[in-house]
């Protein structure tokens, strides 16, 4: 399973706590409870595509500005993914990229989010 494969790779870095949800109808509830810093969404899911999940996420106050990394075997879905993600930060990775690229992308996106969070805290505290 791709989800477990990616989860294992990210957890091996020691930098991430990863929660995987394979049910697209439960994904929003899982994201609400977990409040991830980065969402990694497969566009092709059974019964509901990841684009619909992303649109829901962008409507959630606690999730709308979280980066989304879309994952798909079809590069022609990239433009639709970017539109579905709306104003929030978005990346697109095509299935088949080396696992190291996935890990590096998540690290970069998470780092960017952490830098924004630190800047915000500094602005609010001072």
How many CB atoms lie under 10 A from the CB of residue 103?
17
Taking 50 as the threshold, does the pLDDT of residue 101 lie above it?
A: yes
Lowest mean pLDDT among 13-17, 37-41, 85-89, 95-99: 85-89
pTM over 0.75: yes
- Reported as a pLDDT band with limits 50, 70 and 90, residue 120 is low
Q: Specify whether the backbone of 36 is left (phi greater than 0), alpha (psi in -120 to 50) or beta.
A: beta
How many C-beta neighbours within 10 Å does residue 123 have? 8
pLDDT in the model for residue 4: 82
CATH superfamily, with its number, for domain 2-125: Response regulator (3.40.50.2300)
Distance between the two ends of the chain, CA-based, in angstroms? 46
Instruction: Give the model confidence (pLDDT) of 24-59 as tens digits.
Output: 899 999 999 998 989 998 888 888 888 889 889 989
């Amino acid at each position: 399973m791709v989800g477990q494969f990616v989860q294992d790779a990210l957890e091996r870095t020691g930098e991430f706590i990863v929660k995987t949800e394979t049910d697209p109808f439960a994904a929003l509830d899982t994201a609400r409870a977990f409040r991830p810093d980065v969402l990694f969404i497969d566009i092709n899911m059974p019964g509901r595509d990841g684009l619909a999940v992303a649109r829901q996420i962008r409507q959630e106050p606690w999730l709308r500005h979280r980066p989304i990394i879309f994952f798909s075997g079809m590069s022609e879905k990239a433009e639709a993914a970017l539109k579905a993600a709306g104003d929030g930060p978005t990346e697109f990775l095509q299935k088949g990229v080396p696992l190291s690229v996935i890990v590096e992308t998540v690290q970069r996106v998470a780092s960017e989010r952490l830098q924004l969070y630190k800047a915000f805290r500094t602005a609010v505290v001072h």
